[in-house]
Amino acid sequence: MLAAFVNAFRTPDLRKKLLFVLAIIVVFRAGSQIPAPGVNVGNVQQCLGDQANNEGVYTLINLFSGGALLQLTVFALGIMPYITASIILQLLVVVIPRLEALKKEGQSGQGKITQYTRYLTLGLAVLQATGIVALARSGSLLQCELPLLHSNSLSTFIVMVVTMTAGTAVIMWLGEQITERGIGNGMSILIFTQVVATFPVALWQVGKTQGWWTFGVVIAIGMVIVAAVIFIEQAQRRIPVQYARRMVGRKMFGGSSTYIPLKVNQAGIIPVIFASSLLYLPAMAVQFQQNNTNPAGWVGWINDHFVAGDHPFYMATYFALIIFFTYFYVSITFNPTEVADNMKKYGGFIPGIRAGKPTEDYLSYVLSRITLPGALYLGIISLIPLIALVLIDANQNFPFGGTSILIMVGVALDTVKQIESQLQQRNYEGFLR
């Protein structure tokens, strides 16, 4: 593996791509540490220390920003607006015929959808930045009595919103530059960078607060979890497909065999994001009721069952939502009818299955059954931090689980595969021997 890295850096064009990606990562992390104009850095750091790493309803957004959100930096919003916009556009493609037609147009249509995603990202960034700055002005963001801003004037408010929105635009541009001129998917690599950035502090907190024996146990458990995630992420059901020979003019085409790869985790990390975002809504509603001297009865019930995150009702709801959204997302991203029609059009068939409706039914049958273990896997991995909260009181400091480990392993595997393919094109030995 080390020899493969040496060979990668010995190849001029591959070395240039890798160094370009590293340079973008440095710029990205630097922007995540620069405070936005008007932020009282000293008070923010003191409030974060008093908060003892309890990020509340902003855990997911703060994870995707590498901790930059609660520090109110230039890149405070991170990649979350782009992720949200991409998910919304994927859902709209299914329900809006115009967008579905654009998707079928190929590269030109996909370019227009990408442009729509950019516009929606900026719109969501404005909304999120406005909400975050408004909470910082009122003191509700970190639940701290110290003022987080030097001034509560309207001009400071506007400057911070514009700065954070511009930071999101710069992040989006950096991700696109990595995709075009580097290696791997740019947005995924930026998310990976932010998640990994929180690991050293999280592990140090586990050792300092729970003891170094617990730290060693966490590392051992983490290695097992990483190995299990790699195994599941690589697992797939290959459905064989045969293509009949056909004559086009004087040439013979077809007669080949291939397969349709159906991954066990076909939905990726999207169901976890959906479920987490949905469960944040009740907690956010409670936060807006905190200044109310006579809160309603439902506020106390939500505080008991949702805000802490360790209640069995919360865990059961979270697990059920992940399973539901896994089936939902797979159903809208993989269309058995469309796949069966394309196979029939080009003379393909599954051995032992007739073309047309029987093929569609067979694909639906296999997909529904392979999605179940994938959904259970996502639910179990996502509950690991909540279980850690109950066992060792280390929810926010337990890095080996939930969204973070899924992102890290998924992006790392994809990037390694792309580097591997680049090396194999140049007849070098790859990472896997």
Residue 118 phi, psi (nearest 5): -65, -45
In terms of domains, do 133 and 207 share one? no
Phi-psi region of 72 (alpha: psi -120 to 50; beta: other; left: phi over 0): left
Residues in the chain: 433
pTM score over 0.85 = no
In terms of domains, do 40 and 111 share one? yes
Whether residue 410 is contained in a domain is answered as no
Whether residue 430 is contained in a domain is answered as no
pLDDT at 403: 74
Q: What is the DSSP string of 13-75?
A: HHHHHHHHHHHHHHHHHHHTTSBPTTB-HHHHHHHHHHHTT--GGGHHHHHHTTT-TTTTBTT
In terms of domains, do 192 and 212 share one? no
pLDDT at 426: 67
- C-alpha gyration radius of the chain: 24
**CATH code, 187:** 1.10.3370.10
> How many other C-beta atoms can be found within 10 angstroms of the C-beta atom of residue 93?
19
In terms of domains, do 158 and 264 share one? no
Please name the helix (run of DSSP H) or strand (run of DSSP E) that holds residue 243, with its range, or none: strand 236-243
Whether residue 428 is contained in a domain is answered as no
In terms of domains, do 147 and 233 share one? no
Which structural domain, as residue segments, surrounds residue 344? 199-398
Euclidean distance between the first and final Cα of the chain, in Å?
8
CA–CA distance, 153 with 229 (Å, rounded to integer): 48
Whether residue 121 is contained in a domain is answered as yes
Final residue of a domain: which of 174, 198, 222?
Answer: 198
CA–CA distance, 388 with 216 (Å, rounded to integer): 14
In terms of domains, do 144 and 249 share one? no
Whether residue 307 is contained in a domain is answered as yes
pLDDT at 53: 45
Q: How many domains does the chain fold into?
A: 2
What are 98-131's pLDDT values in tens digits?
A: 888 888 787 888 888 889 999 999 999 999 899 8
Whether residue 416 is contained in a domain is answered as no
Is the separation of the CB atoms in 77 and 62 below 8 Å?
A: no
What are 172-206's pLDDT values in tens digits?
A: 999 999 988 888 888 888 888 888 887 777 777 77
Whether residue 67 is contained in a domain is answered as yes
Final residue of a domain: which of 170, 198, 226?
Answer: 198
Final residue of a domain: which of 198, 232, 251?
Answer: 198
In terms of domains, do 293 and 337 share one? yes
In terms of domains, do 204 and 143 share one? no
Name the DSSP class of 305.
Answer: I
Whether residue 268 is contained in a domain is answered as yes
In terms of domains, do 161 and 237 share one? no
Query: Is 239 strand, coil or helix?
Result: strand
In terms of domains, do 189 and 226 share one? no
In terms of domains, do 170 and 205 share one? no
pLDDT at 242: 83
pLDDT at 2: 56
In terms of domains, do 150 and 14 share one? yes
Residues (pLDDT < 70) of the chain are 1-7, 49-67, 245-255, 284-301, 303-310, 388-402, 426-433
